[in-house]
C-alpha cells in the first residue's frame, strides 16, 4: 500500500532487536517516535534489517562523496503495535522468502590503558585507525585537569579516542566511574546494525561504594549477535588476590543486562574482560627483570597470580587470556626510556 510516513536514515537513532522473540523489532528515531513491529518470521526481520543497513551504507557513501542523501529514507506504512504482523517485506531489496542468512564478519579492537592521571597524547602507536569495524577502549586512573578545548575529563578522553579511530567512526556508548572509563566506537556504516545498548557500573572501592576501584559493563547486539565488554580496575597490592577475586564476583553479580536472572558472562555470544586487573607475577624481582630483558613474556604469563586463579577455577572461569607479546609496563617511569 501507499506509505504514510517517510523518515530519513539520519533520524534513526537505534535499532532494537528483541532477544526473546526473534520476530520483534523496534525502530527508535531521534524525535522520540518509536515504531514496533512483529514480523511473520525471524528471517523476515533479518531481511528487513539488511535493507535498512543497505540504506545506511548508501547514505555514508554519499556523505563521503559530498552528495545529497535525500534518497536514503525509510518508508513506514503505519505504526504496528506488538501482536500485529508486518507483511510484504520479503521482496524488498532483491531478497526472496527462503533466502539463507549470511554471516557478516567484523574485526573488533579491544584496548586497555592505565593512564596514571595524565592527559592522552598521540595514540598512533597504540591505535591503528580505520583498521577495525568496532573499537572498545577501557581506561583506568584517567582523572586529570582536562585540556582547555574540553569541558571535562571524560569529554577530553572520549574525543581523543574517537579521533584516533578515524573520521568515519561514531560513538556508540561511553561511561565513567571515577577514573575508570569505557568507550565504544563503530564505523558509520555499522551504526544501525547496533542495538540494545546497555550500561551498568559496580564500584568496589572502600566500603564497596567508592569508585576508585570497580567495573563498567557495556553490552549491545551487532546484527543479532550479543556482545559484552567489561572494563575494570581491581584491588592493588600483591597480597590481595582474594580481594581481586571478590571484586570480579561483585562486578558480575551486580551488572545485570538482558535477562536479569542470568549473569552477564553467561548470556552473550562473546564477552571481553579488560582493564587493570592488578594480579602480579609470582617471580622474584630479579628473575622478572631477567625474563623481561630476554623477552620471555610467556614465562611471565604462565607464572602469575591470574593464571593460577583461573586454573583453579576461582576467577574468570571459562575465559581465555590473550597472548602477551610486550614487556610489562607497571610503574613505568615517566620521561625515562
Q: How far apart are CA 261 and CA 325, in angstroms?
A: 38
Alpha-carbon distance of 136 to 35, in angstroms, equals: 30
Our CA angle for 154, 158, 159, nearest 5°, is: 115
Tell me the mean pLDDT in the region 72-84: 38
Domain boundaries along the sequence of the chain: 8-61, 108-278, 280-323
Model pTM greater than 0.85? Answer: no
CATH superfamily of 108-278: Endonuclease/exonuclease/phosphatase (3.60.10.10)
Per-residue pLDDT of 297-314, as tens digits, reads 888 888 899 999 999 999
- DSSP letter at 157? H
Would you say 216 and 182 are in contact if contact means Cβ atoms under 8 Å apart?
yes
Q: Which strand (E) or helix (H) includes residue 324? A: none
Q: Which residue's entry shows cell 523518515?
A: 7
Say whether pLDDT at 200 is over 90: yes
pLDDT in tens, 206-252: 988 899 999 999 999 998 899 999 999 999 999 999 999 999 999 99
Residue predicted with more confidence, 147 or 178: 178
* Average pLDDT estimate for 54-59: 65
pLDDT of 100 above 50: no
Q: For residues 236 and 11, which has the higher predicted lDDT (pLDDT)?
A: 236
Grouping H, G, I as helix, E, B as strand and the rest as coil, residue 150 is coil
Task: Tell me which residue has cell 614487556.
Answer: 327
Across the range 71-92, mean pLDDT stands at 33
- Residue 74: the pLDDT is 46
Residue in the block written with cell 543479532: 224
Q: What is the DSSP annotation of 203-261?
A: E-SGGGT-TTSEEEEEEEEETTEEEEEEEEE---STT-HHHHHHHHHHHHHH---SSTT
Amino acid at each position: 500500500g501507499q506509505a504514510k510516513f517517510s523518515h530519513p536514515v539520519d533520524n534513526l537513532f537505534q535499532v532494537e532487536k528483541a532477544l526473546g522473540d526473534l520476530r520483534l523489532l523496534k525502530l527508535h528515531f531521534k524525535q522520540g517516535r518509536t515504531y514496533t513491529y512483529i514480523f511473520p518470521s525471524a528471517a523476515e526481520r533479518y531481511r528487513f534489517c539488511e535493507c535498512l543497513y543497505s540504506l545506511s551504507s548508501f547514505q555514508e557513501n554519499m556523505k563521503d562523496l559530498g552528495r545529497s542523501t535525500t534518497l536514503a529514507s525509510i518508508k513506514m506504512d503505519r505504526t504496528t503495535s506488538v501482536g500485529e504482523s508486518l507483511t510484504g517485506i520479503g521482496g524488498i531489496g532483491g531478497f526472496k522468502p527462503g533466502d539463507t542468512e549470511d554471516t557478516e564478519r567484523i574485526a573488533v579492537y579491544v584496548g586497555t590503558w592505565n593512564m596514571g592521571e595524565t592527559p592522552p597524547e598521540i595514540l598512533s602507536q597504540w591505535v591503528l585507525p580505520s583498521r577495525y569495524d568496532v573499537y572498545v577502549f577501557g581506561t583506568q586512573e584517567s582523572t586529570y585537569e582536562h585540556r582547555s578545548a574540553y569541558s571535562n575529563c571524560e569529554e577530553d578522553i572520549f574525543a581523543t579516542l574517537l579521533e584516533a579511530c578515524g573520521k568515519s567512526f561514531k560513538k556508540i556508548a561511553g561511561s565513567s566511574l571515577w577514573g575508570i572509563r569505557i568507550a565504544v566506537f563503530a564505523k558509520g556504516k555499522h551504526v544501525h546494525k547496533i542495538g540494545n545498548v546497555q550500561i551498568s557500573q559496580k564500584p568496589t572501592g572502600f566500603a564497596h561504594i567508592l569508585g576508585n576501584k570497580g567495573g563498567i559493563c557495556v553490552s549491545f547486539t551487532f546484527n543479532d549477535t550479543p556482545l559484552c565488554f567489561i572494563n575494570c580496575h581491581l584491588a592493588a597490592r600483591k597480597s590481595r588476590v582474594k580481594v581481586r577475586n571478590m571484586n570480579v564476583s561483585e562486578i558480575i553479580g551486580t551488572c545485570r543486562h538482558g535477562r536479569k536472572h542470568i549473569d552477564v558472562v553467561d548470556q552473550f555470544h562473546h564477552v571481553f574482560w579488560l582493564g587493570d586487573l592488578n594480579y602480579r607475577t609470582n617471580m622474584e624481582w630479579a628473575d622478572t627483570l631477567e625474563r623481561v630483558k630476554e623477552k620471555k613474556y610467556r614465562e611471565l604469563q604462565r607464572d602469575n597470580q591470574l593464571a593460577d586463579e583461573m586454573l583453579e577455577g576461582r576467577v574468570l572461569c571459562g575465559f581465555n587470556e590473550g597472548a602477551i607479546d610486550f614487556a610489562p609496563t607497571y610503574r613505568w617511569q615517566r620521561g625515562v626510556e
